[in-house]
């Protein structure tokens, strides 16, 4: 469903973040991207939904090249791609419900959204997703008063509200404690298995990778250096990806 | 990823700057030595003559002295630019070049005393003290007969400040987005607009409201309207600057997240930017109203209406009892506004 061909990204300051990256993601896969900080993982995810503009190559989403889209067509594609972030990026001072409803902005008129007018079905849907991520009863709470793990679940519900075909997760557990990390990963797994949403997730911990990924790609200095099954990552590959001195850290 | 570039300062450029600084300091000292120490103190010249050849000559002296002392430890410029090596255990303030700095400060104090015509004799003279006694006595016995008149003028002032703030808010709110660097550096056109707006705001902010009031009192006539316009212009410029700085300091995360949902740019601003700026905006706005009430009083002095205008009239007629009444009213207003605005802003945090 998603095919990336010869993707290049050069920042205006000359930093060459992505070099000739090609891979494809079939429907329903849980793909994990690993690599050191600065290896280009975040940039790659952001190129897929065009938070960053690629400098070259193609990104085919259901056969449509997204890399040249503009205006309405771009917003349409973005609405089909959900995204969650390391720092959750919820709207401050707004309730959980308002945050989840913001996932539906692309299908709400500008004035309706500003005045908070939503149809009964939309509200019911938001309610449903809040229940799916286990936050029933917290709809009226201010989102920024919740714990980190709960905030990340709100952001998952917001992404689900878009009814996405694909979910991008940029280090979703990097600012959470180990127990909470597992809980958030479980929700992502649930979204992937029960709702059939394809997931592309950047991760740091190999223990999480082995547990949740169907397939792994690794980036190093902007190049794709590994594409395979999580259990096939040997000690040797590990040292190639993370450097000679790296020691594996596990979280349970 | 942004990378910090550390420029290594060019030694020759630094030396040149140091020499310019040395020249200017010595020229300044030479000029003061002549105009203040010699003319004013030593020969007590009453009407000293000034000609442009004096500062010019000082500059030549400065150039010469700076050249002679440049490679000694007395070069202030080289000291400040770190070109003089000294024991690291010693503090820079005890180095020889620092004493040149102290000398500069001392000479500036001395000149300040002469320019301000500070005179204990005048301050403590019999007739002067008599006058002060008279005016304080009058001020302490305010004429309550004009209380009503003063109160109405004060109300005029407060409403004038309120309307000026209220009109400025929507204009500044919209301009604030266009004056925020992080929203405007996308394209060349928008960045040009940003720079144009910034320049315009800086110019209108650097003209004091007092001057605006004079301009508008000629334009629309003396009265509250001209004062209101003056405050309005100043408020728009100040609020736009504060609003745009607030926008510049927001977290990009929510903007990214809302963009990723496929939202329209207007929705991105409304949901990604606005919730982050509402409270600081309110706080700035209340503070601006508070400032405007105080400024409205001053603006009244030049014909901007309100209590300031009344104060000017009574002061002109030397009716100090009435002035005393107005001073009390102004103090009460300023104190109340100050208290209310700080309480409100505290509650908003």
Q: What is the pLDDT of residue B103?
A: 92
Q: What is the pLDDT of residue A43?
A: 92
**Between residues A42 and B84, which one has the greater pLDDT?**
A42
Q: What is the pLDDT of residue B7?
A: 52
Nearest to A106 among B251, B254, B261 (CB): B261
Q: Domain for residue B234, yes or no? A: yes
Chain A CB contacts of B276 under 8 Å are 92
- Chains A, B: CB contacts within 8 A come to 83
CA distance A87 to B252: 11
Chain A CB contacts of B251 under 8 Å are 89
Q: Domain for residue A222, yes or no? A: yes
Question: In this structure, are B38 and B146 located in the same domain?
Answer: no
CA distance B91 to B96: 11
Q: Domain for residue A43, yes or no? A: yes
Q: Which residues pair with A3 in a beta bridge?
A: A24, A60
> Helix, strand or coil for residue B87?
coil
Residue-wise DSSP of chain A: -EEEEEEEEE-TTS-EEEEEEEEEE-TT-EEEEE--TTSSHHHHHHHHTTSS--SEEEEEETTEEGGG--HHHHHHHHHTEEEE-TT--PPTT-BHHHHHHGGGGGGS-HHHHHTT---HHHHHHHHHHHHHTT-TT-TTSBGGGS-HHHHHHHHHHHHHHT--SEEEESSTTTTS-HHHHHHHHHHHHHHHHHS--EEEEE-S-HHHHHHH-SEEEEEETTEEEEEE-GGG--HHHHHHHH-TT-------
**Mutation for testing the B interface, residue in A102, A114, A163, A170 having most B CBs under 10 Å:** A102
Q: Domain for residue B336, yes or no? A: yes
Question: In this structure, are B106 and B163 located in the same domain?
Answer: no
Q: Please calculate the CA angle A224-A58-A54 and round it to the nearest 5 degrees.
A: 75
Chain A CB contacts of B253 under 8 Å are 85, 87-89
Taking an 8 Å cut-off on Cβ atoms, the answer to whether A89 and B254 are in contact is yes
Q: Can you give the CATH number for the domain in which A218 is found?
A: 3.40.50.300
Question: In this structure, are B182 and B244 located in the same domain?
Answer: yes
Taking an 8 Å cut-off on Cβ atoms, the answer to whether A13 and B3 are in contact is yes
Question: Last residue of a domain, which of B63, B86, B118?
Answer: B118
Q: What is the pLDDT of residue B31?
A: 92
Instruction: Pick the residue from chain B with its C-alpha nearest to A85.
Output: B257
User: For B9-26, b where at least 16 C-beta lie within 10 A, e where not — what string?
Assistant: eeeeebbebbbebbbbbb
CA distance A33 to A224: 10
Taking an 8 Å cut-off on Cβ atoms, the answer to whether A103 and B256 are in contact is no
Nearest to A91 among B3, B266, B275 (CB): B275
Rg of chain B over Cα atoms, rounded to whole angstroms, equals 28
Q: Can you give the CATH number for the domain in which B186 is found?
A: 1.10.3720.10
**Residue B118 DSSP class:** -
Q: Domain for residue B313, yes or no? A: yes
Question: In this structure, are B112 and B145 located in the same domain?
Answer: no
Taking an 8 Å cut-off on Cβ atoms, the answer to whether B260 and A155 are in contact is no
Smallest CA–CA distance, residue A234 to chain B, in Å, is 31
Q: What is the pLDDT of residue B299?
A: 85
Residue whose structure tokens are 């030595």: B33
Taking an 8 Å cut-off on Cβ atoms, the answer to whether A92 and B259 are in contact is no
CA distance A55 to A73: 19
Q: Which residues pair with A200 in a beta bridge?
A: A31, A168
Q: Which tens digit of pLDDT belongs to each residue from B78-95?
A: 888 888 887 777 888 888
Q: Domain for residue B127, yes or no? A: no
Asked if B114 contacts B40 with a C-beta cutoff of 8 angstroms, the reply is: yes
Taking an 8 Å cut-off on Cβ atoms, the answer to whether A103 and B261 are in contact is yes
pLDDT higher than threshold 70 for residue A39 = yes
Q: Name the pLDDT band for A240 (thresholds 50, 70, 90).
A: confident
CA distance B158 to B154: 6
**Between residues B214 and B303, which one has the greater pLDDT?**
B214
- Residues spanned by the domain of B110: 11-118
Element (H, E) at B242: helix B224-248
Taking an 8 Å cut-off on Cβ atoms, the answer to whether B264 and A82 are in contact is no
* Tokens read off for B138: 């009058």
Over residues B256-265, the mean pLDDT reads: 92
Q: Which tens digit of pLDDT belongs to each residue from B28-67?
A: 999 998 888 888 888 887 777 888 888 999 999 999 999 9
Q: What is the pLDDT of residue B120?
A: 76
Question: In this structure, are B214 and B339 located in the same domain?
Answer: yes
pLDDT higher than threshold 60 for residue B278 = yes
Q: Domain for residue B125, yes or no? A: no
Contacts for A45 with CB less than 8 Å, ≥ 6 apart: A33, A83, A168, A170, A200, A202
- Percentage with pLDDT > 70 across chain B: 97
Residues in A whose CB is inside 8 Å of some CB of B read: 11, 13, 15, 38, 49, 51, 75-83, 85, 87-94, 102-106, 108, 110, 113-114, 155, 158, 162, 168
pLDDT higher than threshold 90 for residue A162 = yes
Q: Domain for residue A136, yes or no? A: no
Taking an 8 Å cut-off on Cβ atoms, the answer to whether B263 and A13 are in contact is no
Smallest CA–CA distance, residue A89 to chain B, in Å, is 5
Nearest to A51 among B2, B256, B272 (CB): B256
CA distance A8 to B70: 55
* Tokens read off for B318: 């030397």
Q: Domain for residue B3, yes or no? A: no
Question: In this structure, are B222 and B96 located in the same domain?
Answer: no
Q: Domain for residue B277, yes or no? A: yes
Chain A CB contacts of B1 under 8 Å are 11, 15, 38
Q: What is the pLDDT of residue A250?
A: 64
Q: Which tens digit of pLDDT belongs to each residue from B176-231?
A: 988 988 878 777 888 899 999 999 998 988 888 888 888 888 898 888 888 889 99
* Tokens read off for A14: 């000359």
Question: In this structure, are B178 and B47 located in the same domain?
Answer: no
Q: Are strands A16-25 and A2-10 parallel, antiparallel or unpaired?
A: antiparallel
CA distance B227 to B345: 26
Asked if A86 contacts A170 with a C-beta cutoff of 8 angstroms, the reply is: yes
Chain A CB contacts of B264 under 8 Å are 75, 105-106, 110
Q: Domain for residue A19, yes or no? A: yes
Number of domains in chain A: 1
CA distance A226 to B66: 67
pLDDT higher than threshold 60 for residue B3 = no
Q: What is the pLDDT of residue B175?
A: 92
* Tokens read off for A174: 């990097």
Q: What is the pLDDT of residue B207?
A: 87
Nearest to A105 among B251, B256, B261 (CB): B261
Question: In this structure, are B215 and B108 located in the same domain?
Answer: no
Chain A CB contacts of B246 under 8 Å are none
ipTM: 0.90
Q: Please calculate the CA angle A134-B267-B174 and round it to the nearest 5 degrees.
A: 135
Task: Identify the CA nearest to A6 among candidates A58, A54, A41, A50.
Answer: A58
CA distance A28 to A167: 10
* Tokens read off for B275: 């919730």
> What are the CA-CA distances from residue A110 to residues A1, B53, B239, B248, B269 (Å)?
31, 69, 27, 24, 11
Q: Domain for residue A2, yes or no? A: yes
Q: Which residues pair with A222 in a beta bridge?
A: none
Q: Domain for residue B54, yes or no? A: yes
Q: What is the pLDDT of residue B2?
A: 39
Question: In this structure, are B199 and B237 located in the same domain?
Answer: yes
Taking an 8 Å cut-off on Cβ atoms, the answer to whether A85 and B257 are in contact is yes
Q: Domain for residue A73, yes or no? A: yes
Question: In this structure, are B157 and B202 located in the same domain?
Answer: yes
Taking an 8 Å cut-off on Cβ atoms, the answer to whether A113 and B260 are in contact is no
Q: Which tens digit of pLDDT belongs to each residue from B319-334?
A: 888 888 998 898 898 8
Number of domains in chain B: 2
Global pTM value: 0.69
- Residues spanned by the domain of A233: 1-80+200-205+212-244
Q: Name the pLDDT band for B1 (thresholds 50, 70, 90).
A: very low
Q: Which tens digit of pLDDT belongs to each residue from A106-143?
A: 988 898 998 888 999 999 999 999 998 888 888 899 98
* Torsion sign over Cα A169, A174, A178, A180: negative
Asked if A183 contacts A126 with a C-beta cutoff of 8 angstroms, the reply is: no
Taking an 8 Å cut-off on Cβ atoms, the answer to whether B271 and A78 are in contact is no
Taking an 8 Å cut-off on Cβ atoms, the answer to whether A82 and B260 are in contact is yes
* Torsion sign over Cα A172, A174, A177, A181: positive
- Percentage with pLDDT > 90 across chain B: 25
Q: What is the pLDDT of residue B5?
A: 46
Residue whose structure tokens are 């007590």: B44
């Amino acid at each position: 469903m998603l095919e990336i061909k010869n993707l290049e990204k050069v920042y205006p300051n000359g930093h060459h973040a992505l070099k000739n990256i090609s891979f494809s993601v079939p429907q329903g896969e849980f793909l994990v991207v690993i690599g050191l900080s600065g290896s280009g993982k975040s940039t790659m995810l952001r190129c897929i939904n065009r938070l960053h503009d690629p400098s070259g190559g193609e990104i085919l989403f259901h056969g449509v090249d997204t890399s040249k889209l503009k205006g309405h067509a771009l917003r349409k594609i973005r609405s089909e791609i959900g995204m969650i972030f390391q720092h959750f990026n919820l709207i401050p001072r707004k309730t959980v419900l308002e945050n989840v409803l913001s996932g539906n902005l692309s299908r709400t008129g500008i004035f309706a959204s500003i005045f908070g007018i939503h149809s009964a079905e939309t509200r019911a849907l938001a309610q449903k997703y809040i229940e799916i991520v286990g936050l029933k009863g917290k709809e009226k709470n201010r989102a920024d008063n919740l714990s980190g793990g709960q905030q990340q679940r709100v952001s998952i519900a917001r992404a689900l509200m878009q009814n996405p075909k694909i979910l991008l997760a940029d280090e979703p557990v990097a600012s959470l404690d180990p127990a909470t990390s597992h809980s958030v990963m479980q929700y992502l797994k649930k979204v992937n298995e029960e709702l059939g949403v394809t997931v592309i997730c950047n991760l740091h911990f190999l223990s999480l990778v082995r547990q949740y990924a169907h397939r792994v790609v690794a980036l190093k200095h902007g190049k794709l250096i590994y594409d395979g099954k999580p259990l096939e990552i040997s000690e040797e590959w590990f040292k190639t990806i993370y450097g000679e001195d790296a020691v594996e850290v596990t979280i349970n | 990823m942004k990378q910090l570039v550390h420029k290594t300062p060019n030694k020759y450029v630094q030396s040149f700057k140091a020499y310019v600084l040395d020249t200017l300091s010595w020229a300044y000292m030479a000029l003061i030595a002549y105009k203040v120490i010699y003319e004013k103190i030593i020969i007590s010249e009453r009407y000293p003559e000034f000609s442009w050849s004096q500062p010019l000559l000082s500059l030549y002296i400065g150039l010469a002295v700076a050249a002679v002392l440049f490679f000694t430890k007395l070069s202030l410029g080289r000291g400040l630019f770190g070109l003089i090596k000294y024991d690291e255990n010693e503090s820079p303030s005890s180095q020889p070049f620092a004493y040149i700095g102290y000398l500069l400060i001392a000479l500036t104090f001395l000149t300040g005393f002469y320019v301000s015509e500070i005179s204990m004799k005048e301050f403590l003279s019999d007739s002067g003290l008599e006058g002060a006694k008279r005016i304080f006595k009058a001020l302490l016995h305010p004429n309550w007969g004009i209380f009503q008149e003063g109160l109405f003028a004060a109300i005029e002032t407060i409403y004038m400040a309120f309307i000026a703030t209220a009109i400025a808010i929507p204009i500044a709110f919209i301009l604030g987005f266009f004056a925020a660097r992080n929203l405007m550096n996308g394209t060349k056109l928008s960045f040009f607009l940003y720079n144009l707006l910034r320049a315009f705001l800086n110019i209108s902010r650097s003209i004091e409201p007092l001057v605006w009031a004079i301009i508008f009192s000629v334009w629309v006539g003396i009265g509250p309207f001209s004062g209101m316009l003056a405050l309005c212009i100043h408020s728009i410029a100040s609020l736009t600057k504060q609003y745009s700085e607030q926008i510049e300091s927001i977290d990009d995360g929510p903007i990214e997240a809302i963009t990723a949902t496929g939202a329209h740019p207007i929705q991105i601003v409304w949901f990604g930017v606005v919730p982050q700026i509402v409270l600081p905006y309110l706080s700035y706005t209340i503070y601006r109203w508070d400032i405007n009430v105080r400024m409205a009083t001053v603006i009244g002095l030049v014909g901007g209406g309100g209590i300031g205008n009344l104060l000017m009239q009574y002061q002109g007629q030397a009716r100090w009892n009435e002035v005393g009444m107005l001073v009390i009213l102004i103090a009460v207003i300023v104190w109340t506004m100050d208290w209310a605005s700080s309480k409100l802003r505290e509650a908003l945090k």
